[in-house]
A and B are shown apart, each in its own frame.
Chain A
């Protein structure tokens, strides 16, 4: 598991062009399929495309899903609260960037 000294690991970039299946999200976030379905239903996650009747998510959904799982678990929030918190966090992030540019 530990790399040989000096060996450089080649990673794969997970970005917006990466498509993740429900199974990918379940595995990476250690959640059940029903959990992903609930995220979609409440608007926490957005389905990018449907391929052979299976949902596909954009790579950036991964970060959102992981934050959602943590908020739900640690703050004992319900899904509506999680969705609201995520939207507000995006908004704060946007405002912070604006502020940095304007100072």
Chain B
């Protein structure tokens, strides 16, 4: 049993939509949900769904066979294709190659898609295909190096020719200084052909958001809160850096947003990045008489107009 999918609903087109309407709907949705472009939360899942719906609705034979299932199924309901549902249809053309389809799609078209061989591009048959994966990495792994374990889902064709996905756990030594967008090549961890050399696995890394540091390529930055008098008069304050706590000199007459650079203390790539401290002015709360008096004294002592540049006049 698999869950029924309403491909017309996925694409947002009526059941009698023309080819042109379907194509138009696909392009719009694909642009919206393409994982490389989209920042939507479930972009990848939605994109797969849209791609699969398009694959069926754009191919006249597949669409006709799908339509034959009738309009009375609800999305998500348990579904088993009737035994003769696709008899008399001749399927042609390869599918989307390495795409991974829903169980519903597989139960309808899996065997044909596979038999028509979309999966092999016939490039260097003596060597297995290279595989790719993307992983989220903690920044510390790059700062210090070290091994991390990743759980990867690998599509696999089982004995019956159905596409399934298998999980495998890889322990990988993360190269110190790796940057977001860079890849780790793991030789021989790609597809293994029946004969010949296994392909490689390329792992692209992306950093998880860090509690303290922002990452910009190889540079890191930290927003460091300082008291108004520390910024105004200068001070030496403790600040965390990737290589440990350091005493940082705040120059006098600093202001909110002042940027202090610690050269070479960013990500230890080659060349190493820099570490930026961006000052933030934290104001003491005026919640007792002593604090209020101090603020009042400051107001009396300093001829200060923070809105001087707004042209409000005297």
Of the listed stretches A38-46, A47-55, A61-69, name the one at the interface; the rest are far from the partner chain. Answer: A61-69
- Return chain B residues, CB-CB under 8 Å to A63: 181-183, 204
Q: Are B130 and A9 touching (Cβ within 8 A)?
A: no
- Are A70 and B170 in contact (CB-based, < 8 A)? no
In the complex, how many residues of chain B place their beta carbon closer than 8 angstroms to a beta carbon of chain A?
49
Chain A 1-26 per-residue mask, 1 if CB under 8 angstroms from chain B, else 0 = 11100111111111101000000001
The CA of A60 and the CA of B34, in the complex, are separated in Å by 21
> For the complex, what is the distance from the CA of A101 to the CA of B259, rounded to whole Å?
11
Q: Contact between A60 and B123 (Cβ–Cβ < 8 Å)? A: no
Distance (whole angstroms) from the CB of B245 to the closest CB of chain A: 22
Which residues in B have their C-beta under 8 angstroms from that of A102?
Answer: 257
B95 contacts the other chain (Cβ, under 8 Å)? no
**How many residues of A are counted as interface, with CB atoms below 8 angstroms from the partner's CB atoms?**
37
Q: Is B184 an interface residue (CB 8 A)?
A: yes
Q: Are B221 and A10 in contact (CB under 8 A)?
A: no
Residue in contact with A62 in the complex, picked from B34, B127, B202, B216, CB distance below 8 Å = B202
Residues of B contacting A28 with CB < 8 Å? 130, 200, 202
Binding stretch for chain A, among B86-94, B186-194, B230-238, B247-255: B186-194
Q: Does A85 contact B (CB under 8 A)?
A: yes
Q: Does B21 contact A (CB under 8 A)?
A: no
Chain A hits for B174, CB < 8 A: 11
Residue in chain A with minimal CB distance to B172: A9
- Give a binary string over A67-103; 1 marks a CB under 8 Å from any B CB, 0 the rest: 1001101111000000001000100000001001110
CB distance from A80 to the nearest CB of B (A): 16
Known: A62-B202, A75-B30. A67 touches B36 (CB 8 A): yes
Closest to A6 in B: B171
Give the chain A neighbours of B34 by CB distance below 8 A: 70-71, 74-75
Q: Complex Cα distance A13/B257, Å?
A: 35
Task: Annotate B265-289 by CB proximity to A: 1 below 8 A, 0 otherwise.
Answer: 0000110000000100000000000
B122, closest chain A residue (CB):
A30
| CA–CA, A66 and B187, complex, Å | 19
Q: Is the CB of B186 within 8 A of A9?
A: yes
B184 and A15 form a contact (CB under 8 A): no
Given A1-B189, A30-B130, A8 contacting B172 (CB threshold 8 A):
yes
Known: A8-B171, A8-B172, A71-B36. A14 touches B216 (CB 8 A): no
**Bound Cα distance A102, B216 (Å):** 13
Q: With an 8 A cutoff between CB atoms, is B179 at the interface?
A: yes
Q: Which of A6, A9, A15, A100 contacts B173 (CB 8 A)?
A: A9
Which A residues touch B181, using CB under 8 A?
A: 60, 63
A15 to B183, CA, bound (A): 7
Interfacial chain B residues near A1, Cβ < 8 Å? 168, 189, 192, 198
A→B interface (CB under 8 Å): 1-3, 6-15, 17, 26-28, 30, 32, 59-60, 62-63, 66-67, 70-71, 73-76, 85, 89, 97, 100-102
Q: B residues bordering A, Cβ < 8 Å?
A: 27, 30-31, 34, 36-37, 47, 51, 96, 121, 123-124, 127, 129-130, 132, 147, 168-175, 177-179, 181-187, 189, 192, 198, 200, 202-204, 214, 216, 221, 257, 269-270, 278
5 CB contacts below 8 A, A to B, read: A1-B192, A9-B173, A17-B270, A70-B34, A75-B30
Given contacts A30-B129, A89-B36, 6 further A-B contacts (CB under 8 A): A11-B174, A13-B185, A14-B185, A28-B202, A70-B34, A101-B216
